[in-house]
Structure 1
Amino acid sequence: MSSTPPPPYGQSPLRAVQVLGGGSAGSSAHVRSLTAGLVARGVRVTVCAPAELESAYDFADVGADVVTVPRRSDPVSVAALRAACAGADIVHAHGLHAAVRTAFALSGRAAATRRPGPQGPHAGRGGRVPLVVTWHTRAHAEGPRSHVVRLMERSAARAAAVVLGTSSDLVDRARSRGARDARLAPVTVPAPRPSEDFRESKARAELGAVERPLLMAVGSLVPYRGYDVLLDASRAWRDLDPAPLVTIAGEGRERAALQRRIEAEDLPVRLLGRRDDISELLAAADVAVLPSRWEARSVLAQEALRAGVPLVATRVGGIPELVGDAAEFVPYGDPQALARTVLGLLADPDRRAVLAEEGRRQAATWPTEDETVAQVLSVYDELTGQS
């Protein structure tokens, strides 16, 4: 692990603990980027995450101490999380499950006989370790489960000194759940640009779209992503010659049901499973499609705009705020509108070129990684008395 630079504060280094639970691609990539930026500014960072996230994102490589904590709330996992936070100046949980578990660990309720742990030299108000929570997205639940999620959101919002929401509607949601201080904190996820050579040959050949239009969707195969609507829309072009091919990268509990539909209805759709080359595959696409019921700062939308890939998206959640005018919008749950818009774009290269340019221009307005780190560090300084 690389050594940490001297702190810029003229005192002992600030110690920050980052906590991940399940960790979406966006939140995990953000924590890696945030960790690298904090370490570069002299902050000592510990990342608590499940082993599979450390394997995928290698937080140690950017200077973090890593503590493996499974995504569970059993006494052993909570005790491990509490021990990792001992002596911290600030604790930052990412996502709802991580926030609830971290608040529980910091409260000490799970261990009534526990002695008070050591406090860091920059401890917050009242000697308590401040908890910052970032809501990258929101949990999607229906029926009795939705009540449980509301209770979890309320618990996380009220336990946090500051809740950072990645979109304005998440900030509003945190306030409605009782957050004392909720702020907008847009997160920009790094997205490497593949070479044009790869775009025009290897990826399209692998996907079977050398001589046919290619549509790309990315995200877990769960109901709120709207893939059932996308499959409905694909009926409108399955008899064209050549038929546009829809590729969906991601895994989830809906995979079997979607695959059955694809085969039974002979739809021009391929499920790619989990991929680690999303940027390359996306850059090969003619159009990116985001048919979700709700999104915050969609990773797909960010990567599509940066790569100059025209985007068709539902006007939901934080998407309009993120992409501005650099996308074609459709109502959620309307397969006819989705099909009409996709086919219209495929038939209009000039419009695709305009969207590609507007997308790159919109992406240039997003905060940089450095600006994101600076905003988070300013919150840490405020809560630990450094500002």
Structure 2
Amino acid sequence: MPKQDRSVLRRVTLLIGQLGRGGAETQIVLLAQGLHARGIEVHVVLMSKGGPHERTLRDAGIKVHRLGFARRANGAPDLLRCLRGFARLVRILRNVRPQVLHAYLFECRLLGAPAARLAGVPVMVAGWRNSGEPRRRSVLALERAAGWMADHVVANAVAVAEDARTVLKSPAHKLSVIYNGLRPRAFDAAEPQVVDTDLPVVLCVASLTSQKGHSFLLEAAALLRRRSRPCTFVLIGEGPERRCLSELARESGVDARFLGERSDVQPFLARADVVVLPSLWEGMSNAVMEAMAMGRPIVATAVGGTPELLEDRGVLVPARDAGALADGIARVVDDPDLAAALGRAARAWARKNLDVDAMVDQHIELYRRLADTRLRRRAGDGRRA
């Protein structure tokens, strides 16, 4: 038999829940496009629905599969559809025969590990993208079981990798850190969006979920108003917390504008006097990265990978502390020279460290190394047999 070329990476499958506008979804699209551009066959598998990124992938010639996972009206998983979805995942993997399955986020990690083993996929990589997320004991046990079955864990920040090591009890050689990437156009200038206000504009781009800490942001807005430093708060994003947050803003008397999901974020970044992310836990925030690329001053909570992004390049405050958040916003609004300096430093660091091509190349290098190791082990097992 001819000797197999161990350096060639031919096929990769990426598994994620859906393709909405979240950070993980954005990064999986960038990775899929980068792999495809380098001649690697890519299949993206979605547990449930598609989303705005699905058309982008299909138009690029990347194959997208839906598994059909669903929940009942009460929010509980539809067991029959989930079992069918898992069987469909195993069947897809057997047909595609990828060298690597990379599963993003919690549910995909849990399903991806056993599916990869049943389908005979040589390498299963678990994507770990949040730090400090609260977990029940039963969930922790499942995480550790899936982590034990995975060949490797990829985190998007050093702090996130440390969280994975603590949760999974994984050895250091089984963990890698690969930063998120930004498209070159993220650094392009944009015409500022017109916002009808005479007040400083504070922008927050985040899904309206409890994780993102919007309630503390609105409390900070009320504090600034009471201190005679009112601002206009522009919130881009959608989610289950919208109604209660809208009511909170109305009761507080603050100028908060909920714009829902938007694809045109750059003009709002160009208009913002301050960009804020008040998350309670986080990974490597795409919203922060995009604000850095636009050279905006940023105030954010010191959670997850955010300190790695903003150390000496932004204002970091404790999570769940509305007073500190208000102080941070006021500090930037009241000092234009500081705001400009922070924006310049953030943009320069982002340009140097958040290159999308570097992100893709690092994944390819990791995939090849893991696939080579698996081949060597199989060859060794064959000789011993």
Q: In 1, distance between residues paired with 2:190 and 2:157? A: 35
Are 2:170 and 1:179 aligned?
yes
| C-alpha contact 2:18 2:50 (8 A) present in aligned 1 | no
Does residue 183 of structure 2 align to residue 190 of structure 1? yes
- The residue correspondences of 1:324-363 to structure 2 (distance < 5 A) are 324-363=311-350
Code of the residue aligned with 1:175 in structure 2: it is R
The 5 A counterparts of 1:44-123 are 44-49=41-46, 50-53=48-51, 56=54, 58-72=56-70, 74-86=82-94, 87-108=97-118
Contact 1:96 1:156 in 2 (8 A): no
Q: For 2:52 and 2:361, how far apart are their aligned partners in 1?
A: 24
1:167 maps to a residue whose letter is A
Q: Deviations along 1:195-226, whole A, 9 cap, x unmatched?
A: 75621xxx223xx33x3211011112222312
Q: Flag the structure with higher helix content.
A: 2
- The answer on whether the counterparts of 2:280 and 2:301 sit within 8 Å (CA) in structure 1 is yes
SS at match of 2:272: coil
Instruction: Tell whether 2:61 aligns with 1:25.
Output: no
Q: Deviations over 1:26-82 (max 9, x none)?
A: 211211111122122221111102442365562222331111123457111111111
The one-letter code of the counterpart of 1:182 is L
1:136 aligns with 2:110: no
311-320 vs 13-22, greater mean Cα deviation: 13-22
Rounded Cα–Cα distance in structure 2 between residues aligned with 1:139 and 1:71: 27
C-alpha distance in 1 between matches for 2:308 and 2:110: 28
Residue 193 of structure 1: how far off its partner (Å): 4.2
Which ranges of structure 1 fall in alignment gaps of 5 or more residues? 1-8, 109-116, 120-127
Task: Indicate yes or no: 2:233 matched with 1:237.
Answer: no
**Counterparts of 1:183 and 1:376 in 2: how far apart (Å)?**
10
Q: How does 1:6-45 map to 2 (within 5 A)?
A: 14-22=10-18, 25-45=22-42
Q: Find the aligned partners of 2:190 and 2:365 in 1 and give their Cα distance.
A: 42
The sequence identity of aligned pairs, in percent, is 27
Correspondence 1:257-276 to 2 at 5 A: 257-276=244-263
Hey, what's the Cα distance between the residues in 2 that align with 1:54 and 1:40? 21
CA contact (8 A) 1:96 1:139 kept: no
Whichever residue aligns with residue 67 of structure 1, its letter is H
Q: How far did 1:11 drift?
A: 9.2
Q: Which residue of 1 aligns with 2:240?
A: 253
Contact 1:262 1:269 in 2 (8 A): yes
Question: Cα distance 1:277–1:262, how it changes in 2: closer, same or farther (>3 A)?
Answer: same
CA distances 1:322-353 after superposition (whole Å, capped 9, x unpaired): 22211012222222222122122112111111
Report the 3-state secondary structure (helix = DSSP H, G, I; strand = E; otherwise coil) of the residue aligned with 1:27: helix
CA contact (8 A) 1:162 1:179 kept: no
> Aligned Cα RMSD in Å?
2.6
Helix, strand or coil at the partner of 2:303: coil
Number of aligned positions between the proteins? 353
Task: Answer yes or no: is the 8 Å Cα contact 2:212–2:279 preserved in 1.
Answer: yes
In structure 2, stretches of 5+ residues that fail to align are: 71-78, 377-385
SS in 2 for 1:365: helix
CA distance, structure 2, for counterparts of residue 57 and residue 212 of structure 1: 39
Q: Counterpart of 2:67 in structure 1: which amino acid?
A: V
